Amino acid sequence: MRLGRWRKVCSAALRRSDARAVEASRTRDLHTGGAMKVFTSDWAHEKLPAGHKFPMDKYRLVREELETDLTLRGKVSVVRAPLITQEELEVVHCKGYVERVLRGNLTAKENRRIGFPWTKESVTRYRASAGGTL
């Protein structure tokens, strides 16, 4: 598909999904008992090949720091990040691409661009990481 056509298809999908996504985001509560929620996705850990340059432990290290920093007690509540839904992903990505990522049907070029080998665990990590940002 040519890039111009791709942009039109994605723009149309964005317009259709935008209203639903905005409404869904309004229902999420950002505070718990006066403390700001900080979402963590370290529970969705994936094993990477030996020598991979991505610092996967950073998620766990950030959570541990937040939980042990006494100056943040009562101010921050560390919460397990929810998984982003397919519908939410389709607000910013074309449906076909989202389906290929979720099902492991990426082209070699798409997979290289992501930079991680496709596994079910990687999809869970992607969804948790993105879900914590909504």
| Structural domain boundaries in the chain | 3-131
Pair 45, 59: CB distance under 8 Å = yes
Pair 79, 126: CB distance under 8 Å = no
**Within its chain, how far is the Cα of 74 from the centroid?**
26
pTM, full prediction:
0.68
Per the rule left: phi > 0, alpha: psi between -120 and 50, beta: everything else, 115 is left
pLDDT tens across the length of the chain (134 residues):
444 544 454 455 555 555 555 455 444 555 556 789 999 998 888 888 888 888 888 889 999 999 999 999 999 999 999 999 999 999 999 999 999 999 999 999 999 998 888 999 999 999 999 999 87
Q: Which amino acid is at 65?
A: E
